[in-house]
Structure 1
Amino acid sequence: MRTPLALAAVATAIAGLGLSPATASPTTGTAAEEPTVTHERGVVIECGGTFGDEEVFVSVYENDTFANVLQVVVGDDGLGRSRESAAGFVSRGEVRASLRLDGRRVLVSGTATRHGKRIAVHEEHDDAGQHIVVDGFHRLLRTDLTMLWKGRTVDLDCGEAFRYDLQVTTTDTTGD
């Protein structure tokens, strides 16, 4: 399992939304005064497939603290779109997420069920003047997903797929 890559994908998704634990989490004091701690639970599912001659990338991302985001990209030209939703995309092992791409509805659906034991996670890295420490657990997901678009069904092969339960501690390293 590519845990550091997966955590980077989670951090990238949060950053892409213009959110950071220091700005999005209610705490006392400022990020420069003391660490900010968030408890984050959610799902990361990253899949690929082929639509005609074009490669497809699908990401289903849920985070109960920040946002739930569906992203679909078709081809090297970057035809793609993402959609944020207050409601989650995965419920009781069923995946159902949609957005409009090139004027047509894209539907990602199927199953994502827990598989195996919990995997302990610990990572530390620096990003944008912050030291970030991540501790918690992942649990792999067994997936069977398809994407329906323009009347065609695409079987999706999902490499990164897991539930996570993490405590994220962010400390400002830029000083005053």
Structure 2
Amino acid sequence: MRTPLVLAAATALAGLGLSPSTANAANAAAEPTVTHERGVVVECGGRFRGDDVYVSVYENNTFANVFQVVVGDEGLGRSRESANGFVSRGEVRAGLRLDDRRVLVAGTAKRVGKRIAVHEEHDDAGQHIVIDGFHRALRTDLAMTWKGRTIGLDCGEAFFYDLEVTTTDTTGD
């Protein structure tokens, strides 16, 4: 049995040319999506036989874990995803094949210092995104081995993050 309030709402929606199920679908589309994302970002540089090297280790428990290496101005590079990630208990170990040879990045990435509060809001591709949580710096000591040589890596951007990300579709506004 429908209550008078439900019948009044259904009548009002019908008057607007909307069925209750169409209205519910429209409201569901406007509802925000909330994800809890945890992971690490480590970006490093170095020199290998006179060429610049870029190394990125990115982990995200919700979306993807990606390891990337780029060598030289010509952009010799490759990336790979892993379901298991590359950092465990402060130990980093990531590998891939580049130019038919194995690249291995290994070392440590330990959390240091205080947590830093994060709040960001921006619009992107028809969505309003709100990010709340914290970052915490990582002290890194990483090296890359490739083609029989090992080089130290200087990691400028390195942090752990724990964020709640709220995404709201704005295309219907």
- Give the TM-score, by structure 1 length: 0.81
Across the aligned residues of Structure 1 and Structure 2, the Cα RMSD in angstroms comes to 1.6
The 1:131/1:31 distance shift into structure 2, 3 A limit, reads farther
2:84 is matched with which residue: 77, 87, 95? 87
1:123 is matched with which residue: 120, 125, 128? 120
Figure out how many residues of one structure are paired with residues of the other and give that number. Answer: 149
The 1:146/1:171 distance shift into structure 2, 3 A limit, reads same
Q: Which runs of 5+ in 1 are unaligned?
A: 1-27
**Paired residue for 1:77?**
74
1:68 is matched with which residue: 65, 68, 74? 65
Matched, 1:139 2:136: yes
Q: Which runs of 5+ in 2 are unaligned?
A: 1-24
Say whether the 8 Å CA contact 2:30–2:172 is kept in structure 1: no
The 1:70/1:159 distance shift into structure 2, 3 A limit, reads same
SS class of match (2:29): coil
- Give the TM-score, by structure 2 length: 0.83
* Deviation at residue 174 of structure 1 after TM alignment: 1.2
Distance 1:32 1:122 in 2: 24
**Paired residue for 1:7?**
none
* Deviation at residue 31 of structure 1 after TM alignment: 7.2
2:155 is matched with which residue: 144, 147, 158? 158
Matched, 1:169 2:169: no
Percent of pairs identical after alignment?
81
**Paired residue for 1:108?**
105
2:34 is matched with which residue: 20, 34, 37? 37
